[in-house]
């Protein structure tokens, strides 16, 4: 049986996945996590064959979490199940060490097929994203925020959600000063004159927080 750690902060998603896996004799739930800290705790203490990972959770998440998992659990298959279908986000997840990438609007059969393939050492990418990668290729114009570091992108997304510096510091477990430094740096890199420009950019480009 493939023991899957479900990492998603939406209870309805986790419940749906549990019900789906209950219909598959070869798939089981090794545990559930609602944030990056719980993911790492589960991986330290339990037997997991595959991590099914949402890209946007509280605390360490996304690319940063994938890199952390890859550093400490190098052989563990990681399949991203995300609401984001942007090619650049998929590329960053795969570059960080994910073995596969699916969007949450995929069908149940597609998901179970991807889990089995990734768990057996293969790779699986949402066919729609692969198609865009092939046809858009290197000519695709990357959005300006791709020049930011992973941490700066995360803070940009959280600021765009209206989070305060104090709230971001608490969520990411870093100091207020560090958040302020990152904010100042990304404002400069992105040539934002004020918070209104930042908020407008995040809304327009659907930057993940």
3-state secondary structure the chain: CEEEEEECCCHHHHHHHHHHHHCCCCEEEEEEECEHHHHHHHHHHCCCCEEEECCCCECCCHHHHHHHHHHHCCCCCEEEEECCCCHHHHHHHHHHCCCEEEECCCCHHHHHHHHHHHHCCCCEECHHHHHHHHHHHHHCCCCHHHHCCHHHHHHHHHHHCCCCHHHHHHHHCCCHHHHHHHHHHHHHHHCCCCHHHHHHHHHHHCCCC
Domain boundaries in the chain? 2-138, 144-205
* Residues contacting residue 178 through CB under 8 Å, at least 6 positions apart: 169
CATH number of 144-205: 1.10.10.10
The residue behind tokens 């990734």 is: 118
Query: Among candidates 127, 69, 65, which has minimal Cα distance to 100?
Result: 127
pLDDT of the residue at 139: 47
Average pLDDT over residues 146-160: 87
Per-residue model confidence as pLDDT tens digits over 3-35: 999 999 999 999 999 999 999 999 999 999 999
> Is residue 70 classed exposed, middle or buried when 0-12, 13-18 and 19+ CB atoms within 10 A define those classes?
middle
pLDDT of the residue at 63: 87
Token readout for 170 is: 């608490």
Q: How far apart are CA 166 and CA 179, in angstroms?
A: 8
pLDDT of the residue at 207: 81
The topology (CATH level 3) of 2-138 is: Rossmann fold (3.40.50)
pLDDT of the residue at 78: 98
Categorize the per-residue pLDDT at 72 as very low, low, confident or very high, splitting at 50, 70 and 90: very high
Residue 173: alpha-carbon gap to chain centroid: 18
pLDDT of the residue at 64: 87
Partnered with residue 53 across adjacent β-strands are 7, 80
Per-residue model confidence as pLDDT tens digits over 95-141: 889 999 999 999 999 999 999 999 999 999 998 898 887 776 544 56
pLDDT of the residue at 141: 61
Alpha carbons within 13 A on the beta-carbon side of 173: 7
CATH topology identical between 2-138 and 144-205: no
Report the share of the chain in percent with pLDDT over 90.
59
Q: How far apart are CA 35 and CA 21, in angstroms?
A: 21
């Amino acid at each position: 049986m493939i023991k899957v750690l479900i990492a998603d902060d939406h209870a309805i998603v986790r419940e749906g996945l549990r019900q789906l896996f209950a219909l598959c004799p070869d798939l089981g739930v090794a545990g559930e996590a609602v944030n990056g800290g719980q993911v790492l705790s589960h991986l330290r203490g339990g037997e997991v064959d595959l991590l099914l990972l949402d890209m946007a959770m509280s605390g360490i998440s996304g690319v940063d979490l994938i890199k952390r998992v890859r550093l400490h659990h190098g052989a563990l298959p990681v399949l991203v199940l995300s609401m984001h279908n942007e090619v650049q986000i998929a590329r960053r997840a795969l570059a960080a060490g994910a073995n596969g990438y699916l969007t949450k609007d995929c069908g149940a059969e597609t998901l179970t097929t991807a889990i089995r393939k990734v768990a057996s050492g293969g790779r699986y990418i949402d066919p729609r994203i692969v198609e865009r990668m092939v046809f858009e290729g290197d000519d695709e114009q990357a959005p300006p925020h791709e020049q930011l570091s992973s941490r700066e992108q995360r803070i940009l997304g959280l600021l765009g959600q209206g989070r305060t510096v104090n709230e971001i510091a608490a969520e990411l477990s870093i100091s207020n000063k560090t958040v302020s430094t990152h904010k100042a740096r990304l404002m400069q890199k992105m040539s934002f004159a004020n918070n209104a420009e930042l908020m407008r950019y995040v809304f327009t480009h659907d930057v993940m927080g």
